[in-house]
Amino acid sequence: MKQICVVGVGYVGLVTAACFADLGNRVTALDVNEQRVENLKKGIMPIYEPGLDELVKRNVNAGRITFTTSYKEALKDAEYAFIAVGTPSGESGEADLQYVAAAATSIAREMTAPLIIINKSTVPIGTGDWVADIVKKSQPKPIEFAVVSCPEFLREGSAIADFTSPHRTVIGSMDKDAANKVAHLHLPLRAPIVITDLRTAEMIKYASNAFLATKISFMNELADLCELAGADVKEVAAGMGYDARIGRHFLDAGLGWGGSCFPKDVEALAFMAKEKGLNPRILNDVMQVNNDRRKNAVVHIEKMLGGNLKGKTIGLLGLAFKPNTDDMRYAPSIDISEALTKAGAKVRVYDPVAMEVARPLLPGSVEMFKNSYDLAAGCDALMVITEWNEFKQLDLEKIKGLLKSPIIYDGRNIYDPQLMKEMGFTYRAVGR
């Protein structure tokens, strides 16, 4: 059993805290957001993540996890302090490190015993050294500490399984003893452990995310060619994926990537390259291809509706940037509903879990519905925006009867084009 403090109870922090508690450690999870902490004390989760509610409650009941807004309380007896605060995009695309700086400063002021500070947030190369500097300067009196980078690779929607069965654990530090202790903490996860220096660990995280984003943008560029050349990108992906050098993951063409990580991380990596005088050509194109997906979707639905969106009612199936999460950060649904509204269309939406989070992010005129069928009733067309499972087995005959015209733009390739045609839909998918 170790004594652990986790700073930040968002998607990464809360999962980290709950999973380490479940492994038998004693965890204090801290956040500056009082509402979040109050809710957690009452058993209300701040985010939607499958299985999290149950995991947190089990460990609260076992006395292994507590929540606080006080650094003093959270650091009392702590041997390890994980930083898991947000690192959003700054004005020029750089990673905004204000939350990391604030967390490091607070830790330095309140720590009373030697501590290993482990950074889980995705941060630019060199941030670990910078954090060490902040801690040193902010300590009222010198207390021994080490800074370790341990980037997180979990995916929202499968965060608990990803955390507990990672492909690898990356640990970076200039302090070998601290790196070994952090490795020991992760041993129960039984994943290969890569121990390296701080900067390399920080780079591994950016490189991994940028590479995965590149795979998706590559397939999206290919999808456009497939459409014109008469090939099916879904089958192309399946055929490519059997090659172990390529792998099947992240080959799905569609509306592109969104969420809290890829957009800001690709941008931040490009920013770092530019700062060093390099021209990040691939990264720039990867972002451009991705941004174009959203615009293309609107162009396609406009064509399907006879070239004019004015006065048309369009239903969006799904809002979250991907299924099994309520995360709306950089979700395609935001840009698409804005563009449709701007073109004079009436936009209706339905998402199984993201409606509440989405409300303030969508144009005020957007109408929200409680299920796919109520949404479809009276619509001129539907657009599949998020590939939630419940959309895959909709009663499409019923949907056809409810729509004013049987038009579906499938931005996530969840339906069979042949079947849709046979059912009498005017159907368009991506790259097929």
Ligand X SMILES: NC(=O)c1ccc[n+]([C@@H]2O[C@H](COP(=O)([O-])OP(=O)(O)OC[C@H]3O[C@@H](n4cnc5c(N)ncnc54)[C@H](O)[C@@H]3O)[C@@H](O)[C@H]2O)c1
Q: Read off φ and ψ for residue 334, nearest 5 degrees.
A: -70, -55
- Write out the two tokens for 230: 């008469």
Alpha-carbon distance of 368 to 108, in angstroms, equals 46
Contacts of 299 (CB under 8 A, 6+ apart): none
The gap between the terminal CA atoms of the chain, to the nearest Å, is 53
With respect to ligand X, which residue has the nearer C-beta, 13 or 431?
13
261 is catalytic: yes
What is the b/e burial string over 117-131, where b = at least 16 CB atoms within 10 angstroms of the residue's CB? bbbbbbbbbebbebb
With respect to ligand X, which residue has the nearer C-beta, 45 or 195?
45
Catalytic residue among 5, 19, 226, 261: 261
Q: Read off φ and ψ for residue 44, nearest 5 degrees.
A: -100, 120
Q: How far is the CB of 88 from ligand X (least distance, A)?
A: 8
Q: Which residue is nearest to ligand X (CB)?
A: 10
Neighbours of 138 (CB within 10 A): 16
Alpha-carbon distance of 158 to 164, in angstroms, equals 10
Binding site for ligand X (CB under 6 A): 7-13, 30-33, 36, 84-87, 99, 102-103, 120-122, 152, 154, 156, 260-261
Q: How far is the CB of 265 from ligand X (least distance, A)?
A: 7
HSE-CB at 300 with a 13 A cutoff on CA atoms is 25
Q: Read off φ and ψ for residue 228, nearest 5 degrees.
A: -80, -30
- Write out the two tokens for 26: 């004693």
Q: How far is the CB of 43 from ligand X (least distance, A)?
A: 17
Q: How far is the CB of 145 from ligand X (least distance, A)?
A: 17
With respect to ligand X, which residue has the nearer C-beta, 249 or 398?
249
With respect to ligand X, which residue has the nearer C-beta, 326 or 335?
326
- Beta bridge partners of residue 7, listed in sequence order: 30, 83
With respect to ligand X, which residue has the nearer C-beta, 29 or 394?
29
Q: How far is the CB of 125 from ligand X (least distance, A)?
A: 14
Catalytic residues: 261
